[in-house]
Amino acid sequence: MTAEVGHFALILALMVAAVQATLPLVGAHRDNAEWMAVARPAALMQLVMVLISFGCLTQLYLSSDFSVLNVVQNSHTAKPLIYKIAGVWANHEGSLLLWVLILTLYGSAVAAFGNNLPPALKARVLSVQAMIAVGFYLFMLLTSNPFERVEIPPINGQDLNPLLQDPGLAIHPPMLYLGYVGFSMAFSFAIAALIEGRVDAAWARWVRPWTLAAWCFLSAGIALGSWWAYYELGWGGWWFWDPVENASFMPWLAGTALLHSSTVVEKRDTLKGWTILLAIIAFSLSLLGTFLVRSGVLTSVHTFASDPARGIFILALLVVVIGGSLTLYAWRAPSLVSTGVFQPISREGALLLNNLIMATATAAVLLGTVYPLLLDAVGGDKISVGPPFFNSVFIPLMMPMIAAMAVGPMLSWKRADLKPALTRLWAAMGFAGLVMLATWALVADGPFMGVIGIGLAAWLFAGTLSELAGRIRLLQVPFVESLRRLTRSPRATWGMTLGHLGLAITIAGMTGAGSWRTESIQTMKPGDTVSVAGYDFTFDGAEPGQGPNYSYLRGIFRIASDGKPVVTLHPEKRVYNVSKRPTTEAGIHSMFIGDLYAVVGDKDDATGAYITRLYFNPLVAWMWGGVLIMVFGGCLSLTDRRHRIGAPAGRRAAELARA
């Protein structure tokens, strides 16, 4: 019964979405207020229906209803409660349900809180949202129904892939989807603006918070995924340029560019066509990510569904959504008029440089991701594009951007002089130089790129701080006055400062972990000691035991530095009872200067020794710490006064009157 209720609610949601996709749009065209008003209740009704559907699927998982195929394939009665809940979205059908749930959540947020939006814009935005929803409802109902029953219910389920039974991965997909789907808001606003033929400062102010929220969620989601790979896959790596990772990284790059260009539209009324294009691209890449992961056109380590029928449907959806919006763009965008003019050396110029580099980086990642597919389609070799390509293209692209990033915020709008900006940065330059020298002295035998990476991070960090110091006129005015300026800074400015500081810290972490990692793989008998980067790992043997739905072998490593004990690590090797698949749980101790990381492997019965892998990963925790600071900065910027009170209605009305 529960399954049928959920299924039926999904069908009703499709019907409601179909109405919402058409009536308000036509109403906005004919200036019919009643038709436009349909959008609000329809959006809320969609949310209610999808909530019912999602609740039903969750209930089926909680009660382990094995008459439902999806539950059979992904659950088991012995599975801990949190993974029964996470199991709902840890599979193809359920993750789509989560996708539409988030889509309707965003849609109803506009419906409920968008009272200061002009009615026609609101109606159009909600219609476009509903069009996307129709596509996804159809996809689910026709090819991926999560409520499908099985004819003969088995006694127990097949359990969830053990790799996914992990707290980090339980919340990774919701975060990622909040980011992906969040870009649908910017997309809907962009399409509505193209239909209306008008983009202005008020439009940018409405789009910005949605983009910012999506960006925060996506950043957190990507960092979570990378953190999961770091401790769960047991290779000590944190980014593999895997197609699925790239699928989430490309919208992030495009979204970051959009975030910066929308500022220009808001403040300076220019770069309109470009900003609209970025909004379309950011969401298109989110959809493309879904396509790449779900259709099976690219094989990847963590693809959990591939089915040609689904692939064809998603491709058709892509062609309609992306092809349709780009056609509309080609038709309407040339008529968007920008009024702001600016010199190359100016805040606008710096933001445009950021945009160009971000767009190039996105294109490079896209090319690397789909190149194997392109080559195969023309009958070429089967190849895969790996980290060497991405590192050699991506890193050189990012270096000038980081260098320019410290300068950009110092430049004034419209026209700026490079010289005073650079003279304000002498301290940052000196700091970066000192840090590079110190790094070089510490790790002279490491790769020179590492020294450059740390230098760039120091440059960005110090440059951002000197911009802050200049803004509050530190040491130029009495300290109390500086403090007053500091506390009065708009939160959006704080967001920028924190975002850039966080990125500097993240870059330092990536550089450290990428350049100076120490690795030691060997067999160890209980009592053996191995020294890694100055830390003595003593292996005290391994003990077997039982978890809730797995059995484990838990190694014990006592770690000491200069004879003083530091920590004891307990890495595990688990074998899950149902699937018999092994997973590794690395033992990790995070410190300011780096992570101690131990993995225990199989026992050699002949000698009684265990295969062990021990690592020292320098600065790796900085990476996630930096992302946390970036996300915090984004959230702070979201609470900025101008978003809380919304766009000034009077000014918009005045502009309308003028137009």
CA-to-CA dists, residue 537 to 443, 560, 561, 637, angstroms? 22, 7, 9, 45
SS3 615: strand
Using the rule CB under 8 A, give the single segment among 245-253, 312-320, 513-521, 529-537 that binds another protein. 312-320
Q: Which of 34, 30, 53 is nearest to 101 (CA)?
A: 53
Minimum Å gap between C-beta 633 and another protein is 31
Separation between Cα atoms, residue 51 and residue 45, nearest integer Å: 10
Which residue from 185, 189, 144 is spatially nearest to 317, judged by alpha carbons?
144
Q: Which is nearer to another protein, 280 or 600 (CB)?
A: 280
Least distance in angstroms from the C-beta of 171 to another protein:
30
Is 44 among the residues that bind another protein (CB under 8 A)? Answer: no
Site for another protein in 378-407 (CB under 8 A): 382
Sheet holding 518-524, edge to edge: 518-524, 609-618, 594-604, 587-590
Q: x/- string (CB under 8 A) for another protein, residues 349-378?
A: ---------------------x--xx-xx-
Member of 16, 132, 244, 297 binding another protein (CB under 8 A): 297
Between 105 and 305, whose beta carbon lies closer to another protein?
Answer: 305
CA 88 to CA 70: how far, in whole Å?
A: 9
Regarding 193 and contact with another protein (CB under 8 A), the answer is no
Q: Taking CB under 8 A as the rule, does residue 176 contact another protein?
A: no
Q: How far apart are the first and last CA of the chain?
A: 56
In this complex, which beta carbon is closest to another protein, that of residue 33 or of residue 383? Answer: 383
Q: Give the binding-site size for another protein (rule: CB under 8 A).
A: 32
- Asked if 329 touches another protein (CB under 8 A), the answer is yes
Contact segment (CB under 8 A) with another protein among 147-155, 159-167, 296-304, 582-590 equals 296-304
Other Cβ atoms less than 10 A from the Cβ of 434: the count is 13
Query: Which residue among 45, 88, 281, 627 contacts another protein (CB under 8 A)?
Result: 281
- Figure out which of the listed residues 11, 26, 142, 315 binds another protein, where binding follows CB under 8 A: 315
- 298 touches another protein by CB under 8 A: yes
Query: 341 vs 649, which CB is nearer to another protein?
Result: 341
- For another protein, give the closer residue by CB, 69 or 322: 322
- In the complex, least distance from residue 372 CB atom to another protein, rounded to whole angstroms: 9
Region binding another protein by CB under 8 A among candidate stretches 74-82, 193-201, 309-317, 532-540: 309-317
Minimal distance in Å, beta carbon 50 to another protein?
28
d(CA 45, CA 6) in angstroms, rounded, equals 15
Which of 253, 277, 472, 496 binds another protein (CB under 8 A)? It is 277
Q: How far is the CB of 190 from another protein (least distance, A)?
A: 13
Residues 6+ apart with CB under 8 A from 311: 291, 294, 295, 296, 297
Q: Residue 261 Cβ, how far from another protein at the closest point, in Å? A: 15
For 74, 181, 528, the CA distances from 55, given in Å and listed in that order, are 17, 20, 53
**Residue whose CB is less far from another protein, 377 or 427:** 377
Question: Considering the rule CB under 8 A, would residue 425 count as an interface residue with another protein?
Answer: no
CB of residue 281 to another protein, shortest distance in Å: 8
CA distances from 294 to 114, 299, 394, 527 (A): 33, 10, 26, 48
- What ranges in 424-541 are assigned the alpha helix state H? 426-442, 448-471, 479-488, 491-515
- Choosing from 27, 87, 311, 495, the residue that interacts with another protein (CB under 8 A) is 311
Piece of 79-87, 310-318, 428-436, 494-502 that binds another protein (CB under 8 A) = 310-318
User: Using CB under 8 A, which of the segments 189-197, 315-323, 433-441, 493-501 binds another protein?
Assistant: 315-323
Site for another protein, residues 331 to 350, rule: CB under 8 A? 333-334
Judged by beta carbon, residue 261 or residue 637, the one nearer another protein is: 261
> Contact 106/44 with Cβ under 8 angstroms?
no
> Measuring CA to CA, which residue among 51, 98, 52, 91 is closest to residue 71?
91
- CA–CA separation, 51 and 452 (whole Å): 50
Contact 63, 150 (CB under 8 A): no
| 323 lies in the binding site for another protein (CB under 8 A) | yes
Is 295 a residue that touches another protein (CB under 8 A)? Answer: yes
Of 168, 296, 541, 547, which one interacts with another protein (CB under 8 A)? 296
Looking at the chain, the number of H-run helices and the number of E-run strands are 23, 10
Q: Which is nearer to another protein, 322 or 513 (CB)?
A: 322
Write the DSSP symbol of residue 580: -
CA–chain centroid gap for 317, Å, is: 22
Nearer to another protein, 197 or 323 (CB): 323
CA-CA distance, 62 to 585, in Å (whole number)?
Answer: 26
608 touching another protein, by CB under 8 A = no
Nearer to another protein among residue 231 and residue 329 (C-beta): 329
Q: Is 176 helix (H, G, I), strand (E, B) or coil?
A: helix
Q: Which is nearer to another protein, 260 or 310 (CB)?
A: 310
Tell which residue, 357, 362, 359, 350, has the closest CA to residue 267: 350
Q: Which residues touch 606 (CB under 8 Å, ≥6 apart)?
A: none
Q: Please enumerate in sequence order all residues whose Cβ is within 8 A of that of 34, keeping only pairs 6 or more positions apart, or say none.
A: 27
Among 236, 273, 409, 514, binds another protein (CB under 8 A): 273
Work out how close the CB of 278 gets to another protein at its nearest, in angstroms, rounded to a whole number.
11
**Measured distance CA(243)–CA(338) in Å, rounded:** 37
Residues at the contact surface with another protein, assessed by CB under 8 A:
273, 277, 280-281, 284, 291, 295-299, 306, 308, 311-312, 315, 318-319, 322-323, 326-327, 329-330, 333-334, 370, 373-374, 376-377, 382
